[in-house]
A and B are shown apart, each in its own frame.
Chain A
Amino acid sequence: QSALTQPPSASGSPGQSVTITCTGTGSDIGAYYYVSWYQHHPGKAPRLLIYEVDKRISGVPNRFSGTKSRNTASLTVSGLRADDEADYYCTSYAGDNIVLFGGGTRLTVL
Chain B
Amino acid sequence: QVRLQESGPGLVKPSETLSLTCTVSIDSMTDFHWSWIRQPPGKGLQWIGLVFANGTTTYNPSLKSRVNMSVDKSKRQFYVQMRSVTPADTALYYCARDVPDFSGLSNYFDYWGQGIQVTVSS
B-binding residues in A (CB < 8 A): 1, 3, 32, 34, 36, 38, 40, 44-48, 51-52, 57, 87, 89, 91, 93, 96-104
* A34 contacts B94, C-beta separation under 8 Å: no
Selected A-B contacts with CB under 8 Å, 27 pairs: A34-B101, A34-B105, A34-B106, A45-B94, A45-B112, A45-B113, A46-B96, A46-B112, A48-B109, A51-B108, A51-B110, A57-B110, A89-B44, A91-B108, A93-B106, A93-B107, A97-B105, A97-B106, A98-B47, A98-B58, A99-B35, A99-B47, A99-B98, A100-B47, A101-B37, A101-B44, A102-B44
**Contact size class for B?**
20 to 34
Query: CB-CB < 8 A to B37: which residues of A?
Result: 101
Of A46, A87, A96, A104, which contacts B58 at CB under 8 A?
A96
- Assuming the A-B contacts A45-B113, A46-B45, A89-B45, are A52 and B107 also in contact, with contact meaning beta carbons closer than 8 angstroms in the complex? yes
* B113 contacts A34, C-beta separation under 8 Å: no
Query: CB-CB < 8 A to B35: which residues of A?
Result: 99
* B60 contacts A98, C-beta separation under 8 Å: yes
* A91 contacts B115, C-beta separation under 8 Å: no
Give the A-B pair count, Cβ closer than 8 A: 71
The B33-54 residues at the A interface (CB cut-off 8 A) are: 33, 35, 37, 44-47, 50
